[in-house]
């Protein structure tokens, strides 16, 4: 059971979901289950395993839901009670201590494109603890050998892969396909999503052209204001590695709620 629970935790984290691992750490007197008994509570409130059922398990699930929302872990204490047959009054039978450990997924960076800057960005993002997903249609560039630490590689029609991708509010997205036309399509697809970050690689001329076209397509200007372009902090870097560093620096600044001093695209 223990290994199964650990596997479920890993599966949920790989999906980008939060998950709670609740287990009994101490008990006094009588209790339905012993020390070490554990269960999993997922974001969708489904469970695996049990710590004894009844009110203790129910209350644990309610607290786990709060832990998932707040991203915290906590220790709970419960009295174990039962009804005496004759008086029907509650009698304390014991006490149980339950620890809820909340696991949070890595911050996810989705890189659309597998060119030189994208590859450099993947490398430094992996080192700094991001879970990286890369999309591209060039099989010679998008290989497991080149991206061994990527959480996922999506090879195929980039526009279709983007349409079908399960974006989450906590995702950071960098658009660097190398094609102005494709980048414009990608922005049109994802700009309506509420994401932590959407940035596009490109010159000021390219950015102006794309944003103008999208405004003509009736994309809301307030949505386009969420696009970071020119992308990255103004480090004046020229090499792919320096450009990637400026992009990740901007992302980390946003992730850590730092202050940006440069302009967005709109």
Q: What proportion of the chain, given as a percentage, has pLDDT over 70?
A: 90
Which residue, 115, 106, 105, is CA-closest to 135? 115
Q: Are residues 117 and 175 in the same domain?
A: yes
The yes-or-no verdict on residue 263 having pLDDT over 60 is no
What is the structure's pLDDT at 116?
Answer: 94
Mean per-residue pLDDT, 227-253:
92
3-class DSSP state of 127 = helix
Q: Using CB atoms within 10 A of its CB, is residue 103 exposed (0-12), middle (13-18) or buried (19+)?
A: middle
Q: Are residues 86 and 134 in the same domain?
A: no
pLDDT digits (tens, 9 = 90+) for 173-204: 999 998 899 999 999 999 988 899 999 998 88
Ramachandran category for residue 232: left, alpha or beta (phi over 0 → left; psi -120 to 50 → alpha)? left
Outline where 179-255 has alpha helix (H). Answer: 180-190, 204-216, 221-224, 240-255
Q: Are residues 58 and 160 in the same domain?
A: no
Q: Are residues 192 and 232 in the same domain?
A: yes
Which residues span the domain enclosing 120? Answer: 108-255
Of 103, 126, 158, which one is at a domain's C-terminal end? Answer: 103
Of 103, 126, 147, which one is at a domain's C-terminal end? Answer: 103
Q: Are residues 21 and 130 in the same domain?
A: no
Q: Are residues 45 and 77 in the same domain?
A: yes
* CATH assignment of the domain containing 135: 3.40.50.720
What is the structure's pLDDT at 46?
Answer: 93
Residue 266's pLDDT band (cuts 50, 70, 90): low
Instruction: Please state the domain count of the chain.
Output: 2
DSSP state of 124: H
pLDDT digits (tens, 9 = 90+) for 15-73: 778 999 999 998 887 666 788 889 999 999 999 998 888 888 999 999 999 999 998 99
What is the structure's pLDDT at 64?
Answer: 95
Using only the alpha carbons of the chain, give its radius of gyration: 24
Give domain status of residue 32, yes or no. yes
Give domain status of residue 266, yes or no. no
Give the CA-trace dihedral at 26, 27, 32, 38, to 10 degrees.
0
Q: Are residues 118 and 11 in the same domain?
A: no
Distance of CA 57 to the CA centre of its chain: 27
Residue 96's pLDDT band (cuts 50, 70, 90): confident
What is the structure's pLDDT at 139?
Answer: 92
Q: What is the mean pLDDT of the chain?
A: 88
Of 82, 103, 124, which one is at a domain's C-terminal end? Answer: 103
Give domain status of residue 13, yes or no. yes
The yes-or-no verdict on residue 264 having pLDDT over 60 is no
Q: How far apart are CA 98 and CA 18, in angstroms?
A: 19
Q: How far apart are CA 65 and CA 102, in angstroms?
A: 10
Give domain status of residue 193, yes or no. yes
Q: Are residues 68 and 200 in the same domain?
A: no
Give domain status of residue 263, yes or no. no
DSSP string for residues in 5-59: HHHHHHHHHHTT--EEEEEEEEEEE--SS-TT-EEEEETTS-EEE-S-SHHHHHH
Strand arrangement of the beta sheet that strand 152-155 belongs to: 152-155, 131-136, 108-112, 172-175, 197-200, 227-228
The yes-or-no verdict on residue 161 having pLDDT over 60 is yes
Q: Are residues 75 and 116 in the same domain?
A: no
Give domain status of residue 224, yes or no. yes
Give domain status of residue 195, yes or no. yes
Q: Are residues 138 and 178 in the same domain?
A: yes
């Amino acid at each position: 059971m223990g290994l199964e629970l650990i596997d479920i935790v890993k599966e949920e984290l790989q999906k980008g979901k939060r998950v709670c691992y609740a287990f009994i750490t101490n008990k006094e007197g009588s209790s339905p289950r012993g020390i070490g008994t554990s269960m999993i509570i997922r974001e969708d409130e489904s469970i695996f395993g049990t710590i004894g059922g009844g009110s203790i398990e129910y209350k644990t699930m309610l607290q786990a839901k709060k832990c998932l929302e707040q991203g915290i872990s906590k220790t709970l204490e419960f009295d174990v009670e039962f009804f005496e047959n004759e008086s029907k009054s509650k009698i304390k039978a014991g006490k149980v201590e339950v620890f809820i450990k909340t696991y949070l997924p890595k911050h996810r960076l989705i890189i659309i494109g597998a060119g030189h800057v994208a590859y450099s960005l993947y490398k430094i993002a992996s080192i700094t603890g991001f879970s990286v997903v890369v999309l591209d249609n060039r099989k010679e560039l998008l290989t497991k050998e080149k991206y061994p630490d990527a959480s996922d590689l999506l090879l195929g029609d980039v526009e279709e892969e983007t349409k079908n991708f399960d974006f989450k509010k906590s995702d950071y997205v960098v658009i660097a396909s190398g094609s102005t036309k494709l980048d414009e399509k990608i922005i049109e697809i994802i700009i309506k999503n509420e994401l932590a970050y959407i940035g596009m690689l490109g010159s000021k001329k390219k950015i102006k052209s794309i944003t103008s076209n999208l405004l003509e397509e009736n994309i809301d200007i307030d949505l386009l204001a969420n696009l970071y372009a020119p992308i990255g902090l103004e480090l004046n870097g020229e090499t792919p590695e320096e450009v990637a560093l400026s992009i990740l620096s901007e992302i980390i600044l946003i992730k850590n709620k730092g202050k940006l001093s440069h302009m967005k695209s709109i």
